[in-house]
Amino acid sequence: MILGVAAPALWLPMLALLVAGLFAATAGLGPTLRDARPLTWHAPVLLVGMLLVKQAIDWGLVLEISLRFMLTATPIFWLHRMTSPTELLKLFERLLPLRLRFILVFTLRVWPLLFRDMQDILLLARLSGAWPARRRDIRPRHLLRAPGRIMLPLSVRAVRLSDDMARSLEARGLDRL
């Protein structure tokens, strides 16, 4: 029960709007929209999953899960935009052991790098014709190709990025601290 309203479908949108507004006011509208864009992939996954499991779409539930996801994920971008990795290391100095602080830094650092790589992978897919240049030109065949030409390289990239960054810190002797 928040503000006398029990239904999450009512207060979650309000909370989401509040967070989005706060984010846009501090980080700027452009970065807010750019950060939110990669998170929208969860929507089709959610809809397809619900269709497979329940053979129907409960829009109220979709909205609730979707907003919960956005509310959980968005602050990560916010924290990244507003706080440098070095500041984070210092900020949690008394709260977390060094290894956990590194994991936190990694989590924040990988997102923007992965987003930049996603743009490059999309550019390559567009140039090769595997993905259309304009959103309105998306056809079912593009969606069939997307896992192999976009999602798979992106997943591989995510693993490689984490691996390379961990190696980079190891290579500077930070695993020995």
Partner 1 sequence: MTPELAVRGELTLVSGPTGAGKTTLLRNALRTWRAAHPGGWPGAVLLGQNPATQLVADTVEEEVAFALVAAQVPQAEVARRTARALAVFGLADLARTRTEALSMGWKCRTLLAALHALEAEALFLDEPYAQLDADGQTRLDAAIEDWLARGCAVTVSADRTPETIAGLSAFRRHDVHPETGLRPEPGLAGAFCDTWAREAPPLPGPAAVELRSFAAGHEGAGPVLRDIDLALPTGTITLVSGANGSGKSTLLRAVAGDLPVGSGRRQLFGRTDAGLAPATALVLQDPELHLTGRSVRGEIAAASVLRQGGAEICLRVFGLADFAERAALTLSHGQKQALVLACAMATSPRLLLLDEAFCGLDADALEGILGTLREIVRSTGLTVLAVTHDPGADILNFADAHLRLAGGASCRGVALPPGRRPGAAACCSGARRLSS
26: contact with partner 1 by CB under 8 A: no
Cα–Cα distance measured from residue 112 to residue 80, given in angstroms and rounded to the nearest whole number: 9
- Judged by CB under 8 A, the residue of 5, 14, 123, 144 near partner 1 is 123
- Judged by CB under 8 A, the residue of 109, 142, 146, 158 near partner 1 is 109
30: contact with partner 1 by CB under 8 A: yes
Question: String of b and e for 98-114 (b: at least 16 CB within 10 Å)?
Answer: eeebbebbbebbbbeeb
Under rule CB under 8 A, how many of the chain's residues touch partner 1?
Answer: 43
Least separation in angstroms between residue 79's CB and partner 1 is: 13
Taking residues 34 to 63 in sequence order and writing x for each that binds partner 1 by CB under 8 A, - otherwise, the string is ------------------------------
Cβ atoms of 43 and 70 within 8 Å: the answer is no
* Of 70 and 121, CB closest to partner 1: 121
| Beta-carbon count within 10 A of 129 CB | 11
Task: Using DSSP, state whether 141 is helix, strand or coil.
Answer: helix
117: contact with partner 1 by CB under 8 A: yes
Chain-centroid distance of CA 16 in Å reads 16
* Of 60 and 132, CB closest to partner 1: 132
